[in-house]
Amino acid sequence: MNAILRRKQHKAELRTQILEAAREIFVRDGYESFSMRKLAQRIEYSPGSIYLHFKNKEELFESLVEESFDRLLRALNRLKNGHPQQDPAATLKKGLRAYVDFGLRNPSDYRFAFLLRRPLHRRPYKVHPAFDVLRYMVGRCVEEKHFRTVDIETTSQALWAAIHGITSLLIQRPTFPWVARRKLIDQVINNAIDGLMVRTDQEEETRAGVQHVQLSHL
C-alpha cells in the first residue's frame, strides 16, 4: 500500500519533471528543434520512458499548452478574488494589466497558450475559462453603471484583442524600438477602457494616466 502510494507519487513527479524539461527545450530551441530524444537525454531517462506518460509528442505539447492556460487562469482568478469590494472598472483595468504582466513575466506560458502554432488540431473549440473571467469583469462594470450599456461580449472580445496585441508584440518582437513598456501598456489599456466609461465630471477630473495629464489644462 505504502509501496503503491510511493509509486504513484513517483510517477507524478516524473511527469512533472518531463513537462518542465520539455517546456524549457521548446522555448529555448523553438518548436522545430524540440525532439523527444533531447528531452529524454535531459531528464536522463530513455526515450521510451516518455511514452509511458504521454502518448506522443503532440499530447505532450498539448499538456504544456493546457498547463499554461491554467496558470494564466489562476493568475486572473487571484486578481478577481483578491479585491472583491473594489470599483469594478478599476479591477478590470488591474485585471487587464495583470494579463499583460503575466504574459511578459511568463512569456513561455504565453507562447504556449497563444502563439505557438499547433499542428492544426480540429477539435471543437471550447472558450477557455480565462475568457470567462474577463467577460465577468466587463459584466460587472456594465451592471454597476461604470460602463455605458455596451454589448458585453463584443466589448470583452475587443478588450482581449487589445491586450493580446500588446502582449504578443512585446514578446515576439523584442528588438523593435518600443517606447517605455509601462507607458505603452498603460496607453493601450486606458485607450481601450476610457471610451467605455460613463463620463461624470468628477471622474473626468480624477482620471489618471500619463497620456491625459495635458488634458487637465485644456
Q: Which residues bind a second copy (CB under 8 A)?
A: 28-33, 114-117, 119-120, 122, 124-125, 127, 148-151, 153-155, 157-158, 160-166, 168-169, 172-173, 175-179, 183-184, 187-188, 190-192, 194-196, 199, 211, 214-215, 218
The answer to whether the CB of 88 falls within 8 A of the CB of 137 is: yes
For a second copy, the closer of residues 81 and 175 by Cβ is 175
Question: Could you tell which of a second copy, DNA, none binds residue 12, using a CB distance below 5 to 8 A set by kind?
Answer: none
- Of 45-53, 149-157, 195-203, 208-216, the segment contacting DNA by CB under 7 A is 45-53
Smallest distance, a second copy to C-beta of residue 14, A: 19
Question: Could you tell which of a second copy, DNA, none binds residue 162, using a CB distance below 5 to 8 A set by kind?
Answer: a second copy
Angle of the 57-82 helix axis to the 129-143 helix axis, nearest 10: 20
Smallest distance, DNA to C-beta of residue 55, A: 7
Smallest distance, DNA to C-beta of residue 29, A: 9
Binding site for DNA (CB under 7 A): 3, 7, 10-11, 14, 33-38, 45-49, 51-52, 56-58
